[in-house]
Amino acid sequence: MRITSISIYAADLPMKEGAYSWAKQSFAAFDTTIVRVETDEGIVGVAEACPLGPSYLPGYAEGVRAGIGVLAPQLIGQDPTNLSALNAFMDLRLKGHPYMKSALDIAAYDIKGKALGLPVYDLLGGIRQDKVRLFKVVSRDDPGIMAERITAYQEQGFTQFQMKVGAGADTDIKRIEAVLAAKKAGNVVAADANCGWSQHEGIRVANAVRDYDLYLEQPCTTYDQCLAVREKAFHPMILDECMVDVPALLRAIQDRACEGVNIKIGRYGGLTKASLIRDLCLEAGLFMTIEDTWGGDIGDAAIAHLAHTVSSDMHFQSSAFHEYTTTRHAGGAPVIEGGFMRANGKPGLGLDVDWQALGEPLATFA
């Protein structure tokens, strides 16, 4: 099988609640890129890449499309089902930029799954849990509003929450206190600073809320700063943005810097490399949040398939981003019910993309 064409589409993902806010950032909509890969056997693969704005990680929406524009002409004629060779080919011809390679890798999984008649989770090692626990994001806001939001989300059946902090230590302490006061017994909350605290702020917050039952996630920008907070904190630690590659993860394992890792598929370059991080976490006994930087129906399908391959005791939680947006791009997206989601089990990602709604591609390479 050979790739015959690659097309790039762009779409907006407006937020249902008007904005999505974390640390010191807030966006009303995100710019997402959808990729269509066609083959000489008539099988079409699809994937999505959506950086969380231009200043969250080293990646931005226009960069996804520019990078694919560099690689796509060179991928014509390559075999999309030989995933290790495809990734090596991309790495040889474009150094770095994993966030844009991710879409091409995931689309290849979609193609291979369809060719073999298997869902992507079978290509990733097989299903280990039949439903994927979701967390609901409590977007950063005034403490009282955040308490109201977690109350409403609990009524919808969610039991796991990621509250956004990282914008002023004093207010963040109040935010944590308000949200934890509204949390039902047995439910789980992680306070995610998304690199928003300085080292001293992270230590201050950790000390102030030490008697609360919660997880702390990525308090500071660098690994060493997070490690300093971790050494003073009394809460389980989740590392996210600083876990950029295998060496970073191995260092965290050696230093006992965390109990959990947030695996964002796009940050590692797709499912091939994210599944390697998954396996290392399993060997080290680290639980996992499995998600991506952002996306819609298509991105959520990739998240669900990878999360299905982790047993429920090692899978902490996942995201379903299309729950936060007002637009839909594909039928067959993971079904959400009672705080869980499920992939539909059809071959590949199992999606039926509405290409007409997406309009004409920005570019096609053939």
Query: Looking at the annotation, which residues are catalytic?
Result: 164, 264
Strand partners, 22: 25
Contact assessment for residue 334 and residue 296, using Cβ atoms and an 8 Å cutoff: no
Distance of alpha carbon 239 from alpha carbon 257, whole angstroms: 8
The DSSP line for 244-303 is -SHHHHHHHHHHT--SEEEEEHHHHTSHHHHHHHHHHHHHHT-EEEEE-SS--HHHHHHH
The alpha carbon torsion through 58, 61, 67, 73 (nearest 10 deg) reads 160
Contact assessment for residue 117 and residue 347, using Cβ atoms and an 8 Å cutoff: yes
The DSSP line for 16-71 is TTS-EEETTEEESEEEEEEEEEEETTS-EEEEEE--SSSSSSS--HHHHHHHHHHH
Extract long-range pairs of 332-336: CB within 8 Å, 24+ residues apart: 332/301, 333/297, 333/298, 333/300, 333/301, 334/132, 334/300, 334/301, 334/303, 334/304, 336/134
Q: Which residues lie closer than 8 Å to 209 by C-beta, 6 or more apart?
A: 173, 176, 177, 180, 191, 235
Distance of alpha carbon 54 from alpha carbon 72, whole angstroms: 23
Both tokens assigned to 366: 């053939």
Contact assessment for residue 304 and residue 273, using Cβ atoms and an 8 Å cutoff: no
256: left (phi over 0), alpha (psi -120 to 50) or beta: left
Number of C-beta neighbours around residue 171 at 10 A: 13
Give me the count of residues in the chain.
Answer: 366
Helix H or strand E encompassing 99: helix 98-116
